[in-house]
């Protein structure tokens, strides 16, 4: 890995000029009283007159505009520094209410008083993400779908209607356009070092946010619309994220030592890393992660450019090209179709961790949610910060100099390194299906523990003899299950005496779900099959939950003698049906799990066989969906499940006999 000491900036010369120099070229001094009124109202005319347009197509001339706005930003910054906190609150607090997080903007004012570079950059990152979320809420006043990208949001007709086109042009000069200062992107993607972001631009965005609040109030009074804030994204089942142990003081101290020697850390970015660890110690978990994510991206970009021999891509791209970001670094191929070498250097566990936390749709997608203002920063979970800091520590350790063996063997760091080396994806569809299978298995297992009426009580009901069809179905299930188990492992799992053994089935499912299946860069056919398998499992789980709820309710009504005659017969039909429904559901779980462990073999099928295979899986899905309908409290069609199941078993048997399953391809 190239030395991180030699990199003095990650901003390309044109971008460095635009951010660090252009807005300082004009030395004009503007009277703040021409920019705002005595009570703090923004005089938009005095700002918009500094927006210049190209004669060719009337688009914004970003260079002229930034040069012209530079002194205005300076005037605003000096004014804010002259205000007391109380005076600022009186003048501006009301105008930040529209953002749904006024306290954040008051905190940014405090930061500007001391102008510590890392705090200014952090304030800007939080401010821009919160502003984006609020602008999205405004967009939804008159638009349906809110654009995902900030640049598209700022260019939308809806915001131009509310605020005016020239006001949106002012915003685009500061954020959202690669031709402008693009402050949000250069910070969130880890290109700008703390010293490269002028505080006066943070002050100006604070001022503009208040001005937008004033314009919005006028618009709302005129239209009688009510601004509604979308709810924040919340993280559920945080235990799914629990890969690393809880970080303690000693681990964080070692991490601080590692920062000084690791090649993963760009020297210019060291203050960000130190601030991230400090924030974690102070329980400011959102701040910690906001500071850390861009540095993970910067460190990985250094690794990416070194391993793929493209040093130029360490810098911000020109406005006509895309930046090299997480999205590109985690892909299988480079844009020239060559193989990306980063995955082989990072190795699969680290790649899976990054995909889990950043990309997979069912994962926390932490950077997306944070940078777009979708998370409540006041209640950010420690668990997520802990995982990201722990992972970062392992990268610091792995990519330190060769003579740092002592660090790598450090007793305090060793547990983290061990966890990192055996990490498996938790949010890839393969991993989610495994979890679904085991949860469904647990649900079906509960059937044995449910209260039910005795055989003697059943005999008291006339006209309800034992159903031989149900018994026949159990035999058919046993036969198919035996075949499947024997195909998988003739020695260990095939039990000729009792192929229907619940214990054997559960043992098989546990063993199958414990198997490692490659998740990185799953081909499209694999993902298509996984979608269907997961839907089947979801439907099976719903059947199980419906059966459990129905049995509990009917048994209670039976014991309380509140069941009418017809309901009693229906209850007994249900008891008869579940004799075969439990084995059938377990059969389907075994079938989809055996297919799962061999899912990559689907890529070897020719198009015709692949089509047939998908058609078969969809027929199993159709059966499961019908079962959900028939076993619902509204339908209660228990007798009909017999015929339905009979047809489904015939299809499964026929498909298995035709040697078309993936398990048979494997054997």
pLDDT confidence of 89, banded at 50, 70, 90? very high
Summarised one tens digit per residue, pLDDT across range 447-465 is 988 887 776 666 665 544 5
Tokens for 556, please give them: 């209670």
| Rounded Cα gap, residues 305 and 300, in angstroms | 8
Q: How far is CA 666 from the centre of its chain?
A: 33
Q: Rounded to whole angstroms, how far apart are CA atoms 28 and 210? A: 24
SS3 call for 656: helix
Per residue in 485-502, pLDDT (tens digit) is 877 765 554 444 555 678
Name every residue whose Cβ is closer than 8 Å to that of residue 395 and which is 6 or more positions away in sequence.
262, 264, 296, 299, 350
Q: Is residue 395 scored above 70 in pLDDT?
A: yes
Query: What is the largest distance, in Å, between two alpha-carbon atoms of the chain?
Result: 101
Is the pLDDT confidence value at 299 over 80? yes
| Distance of alpha carbon 266 from alpha carbon 5, whole angstroms | 6
CA torsion 117-122-123-128 (nearest 10°) is: 130
Average pLDDT over residues 462-490: 76
Residue 339's DSSP bridge partners are 333
What residues does each domain of the chain span? 4-223, 238-421, 429-666
Mean pLDDT of the chain: 91
pLDDT (mean) for 576-601: 93
Task: Please give the pLDDT value at position 427.
Answer: 95
Count of positions (residues) in the chain = 667
pLDDT of residue 324: 87
Given this model, what pLDDT does residue 110 score?
A: 96
- pLDDT at site 493: 47
Question: Considering only CA atoms, which of 214, 163, 194, 189 is closest in space to residue 43?
Answer: 214
CA distance 382 to 283: 8
Dump pLDDT digits (tens) for 349-394: 999 999 999 999 999 999 999 999 999 999 999 999 999 999 999 9
pLDDT above 60: residue 78:
yes
The 10s digit of each residue's pLDDT in 324-341 is 889 899 999 988 889 999
**What average pLDDT score do residues 196-218 get?**
97
Mean pLDDT of 510-538: 96
Stretch 231-236: mean pLDDT, rounded? 92
Q: At what angle do helices 165-174 and 62-82 cross, to 10 degrees?
A: 80
Element (H, E) at 558: helix 524-559
pLDDT at 182 over 70: yes
pLDDT surpasses 80 at 545:
yes
543 burial (CB, 10 Å; 0-12 / 13-18 / 19+) is buried
Highest mean pLDDT among 311-320, 552-561, 615-624: 615-624
Q: Inform me whether the pLDDT recorded for 406 exceeds 70.
A: no
The answer on pLDDT for 236 being more than 60 is yes
Among 99-108, 173-182, 286-295, 454-463, name the one with the lowest average pLDDT.
454-463
When pLDDT is averaged across residues 630-657 and rounded to a whole number, the result is 90
Instruction: List beta partners, residue 60.
Output: 53
* pLDDT score, position 579: 87
**Per-residue confidence band for 408, with pLDDT thresholds at 50, 70 and 90:** low
pLDDT at position 108, please?
97
* Contact between residue 300 and residue 328 where contact means Cβ atoms under 8 Å apart: no
Percent of the chain with pLDDT over 70: 94
d(CA 263, CA 43): 49
Contact 213, 131 (CB under 8 A): no
Q: What is the dihedral of CA 311, 312, 315, 318, to 10 degrees?
A: -160
d(CA 576, CA 471): 9
SS (H, E, C) 305-350: HHHCCCHHHHCCCCCCCCCCCHHHHCCCECCCCCECCHHHHHCHHH
Inform me whether the pLDDT recorded for 648 exceeds 80.
yes
What Rg do the C-alpha atoms of the chain give, in angstroms? 31
Angstrom distance (rounded) from CA 519 to CA 517: 6
What are the phi and psi torsion angles at 171 (to 5°)?
-60, -40
The first and second tokens of residue 255, run together, are 């991490």
What are 155-164's pLDDT values in tens digits? 999 999 999 9
Tokens of 638: 């228990």
What is the CA angle 517-518-523, rounded to 5?
Answer: 120
Global confidence as pTM: 0.92
Angle between helices 199-223 and 102-114 (to 10 degrees): 150
pLDDT given at position 452 = 78
pLDDT in tens, 50-59: 999 999 988 9
Contact at 8 Å (CB) between 443 and 549? no
Output the pLDDT for position 53: 97
Residue 496: what pLDDT? Answer: 46
Provide the token pair at 371: 């940078």
- Inter-residue contact 139 to 232 (CB < 8 Å): no
Q: Angle, to 10 degrees, between the axis of helix 165-174 and the axis of helix 199-223?
A: 150
Tell me which residue has tokens 């102008």: 115
């Amino acid at each position: 890995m190239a030395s991180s000491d030699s990199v003095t900036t990650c901003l390309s010369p044109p971008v460095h000029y635009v951010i660090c120099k252009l807005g300082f070229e004009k030395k004009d001094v503007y009277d703040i009283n021409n920019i705002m009124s005595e009570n703090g109202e923004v005089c938009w005319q005095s700002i918009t007159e500094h927006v210049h347009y190209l004669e060719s197509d009337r688009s914004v001339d970003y260079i002229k505009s930034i040069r012209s706005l530079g002194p205005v930003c300076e005037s605003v910054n000096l004014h804010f520094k002259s205000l007391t906190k109380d005076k600022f609150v009186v003048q501006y607090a009301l105008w930040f209410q529209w953002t749904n997080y006024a306290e954040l903007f008051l905190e940014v004012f405090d930061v500007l008083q001391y102008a510590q570079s890392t705090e200014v950059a952090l304030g800007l990152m939080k401010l821009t993400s919160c502003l984006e979320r609020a602008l999205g809420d405004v967009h939804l006043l008159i638009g349906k779908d809110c654009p995902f990208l900030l640049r598209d949001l700022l260019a939308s007709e809806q915001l131009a209607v509310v605020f005016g086109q020239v006001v949106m042009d002012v915003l685009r000069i500061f954020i959202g356009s690669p031709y402008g200062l693009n402050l949000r992107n250069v910070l969130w993607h880890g290109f700008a070092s703390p010293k490269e972001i002028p505080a006066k631009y943070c002050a100006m965005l604070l001022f503009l946010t208040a001005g937008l609040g004033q314009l919005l109030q006028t618009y709302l009074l005129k239209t009688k619309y009510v601004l509604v804030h979308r709810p924040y994204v919340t993280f559920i089942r945080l235990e799914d994220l629990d890969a690393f142990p809880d970080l303690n003081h000693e681990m964080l101290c070692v991490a601080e030592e590692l920062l000084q020697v690791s090649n993963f850390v760009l020297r210019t970015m060291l203050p960000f890393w130190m601030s991230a660890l400090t924030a974690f110690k102070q329980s400011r978990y959102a701040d910690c992660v906001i500071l850390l994510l861009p540095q993970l991206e910067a460190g990985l970009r250094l690794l990416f450019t070194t391993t793929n021999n493209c040093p130029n891509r360490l810098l911000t791209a020109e406005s006509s090209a895309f930046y090299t970001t997480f999205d590109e670094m985690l892909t299988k191929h480079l844009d020239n179709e060559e193989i990306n070498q980063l995955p082989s250097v990072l190795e699969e566990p680290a790649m899976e961790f990054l995909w889990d936390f950043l990309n997979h749709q069912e994962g926390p997608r932490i950077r997306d949610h944070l940078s777009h203002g979708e998370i409540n920063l006041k209640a950010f979970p420690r668990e997520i910060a802990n995982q990201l800091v722990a992972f970062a520590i392992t990268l610091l350790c792995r990519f330190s100099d060769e003579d740092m063996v002592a660090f790598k063997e450090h007793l305090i760091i060793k547990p983290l390194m061990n966890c990192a080396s055996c990490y498996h994806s938790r949010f890839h569809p393969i991993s989610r299906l495994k979890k679904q299978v085991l949860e469904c298995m647990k649900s079906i297992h509960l059937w044995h523990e449910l209260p039910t009426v005795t055989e003697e009580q059943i005999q008291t009901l006339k006209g309800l003899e034992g159903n031989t069809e149900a018994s026949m179905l159990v035999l058919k299930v046993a036969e198919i299950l035996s075949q499947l188990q024997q195909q998988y492992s003739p020695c260990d799992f095939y039990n000729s005496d009792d192929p229907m053994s619940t214990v054997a089935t559960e043992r098989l499912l546990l063993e199958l779900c414990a198997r490692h299946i490659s998740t990185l860069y799953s081909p499209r056919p694999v993902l298509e099959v996984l979608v269907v398998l997961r839907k089947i499992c979801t439907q099976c789980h719903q059947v199980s939950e419906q059966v459990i709820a129905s049995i509990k309710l009917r048994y209670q009504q039976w014991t309380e003698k509140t069941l009418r005659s017809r309901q009693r017969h229906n209850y007994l039909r249900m008891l008869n049906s579940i004799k075969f429904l439990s084995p059938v559901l377990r059969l389907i779980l075994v079938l989809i799990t055996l297919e799962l462990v061999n899912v990559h073999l689907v890529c070897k099928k020719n198009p015709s066989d692949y089509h047939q295979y998908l058609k078969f899986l969809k027929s199993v899905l159709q059966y499961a969906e019908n079962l959900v309908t028939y076993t619902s409290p509204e339908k209660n069609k228990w007798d009909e499940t017999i015929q339905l199941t009979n047809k489904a078993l015939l299809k499964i048997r026929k498909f298995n006999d035709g040697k078309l399953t993936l398990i048979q391809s494997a054997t």
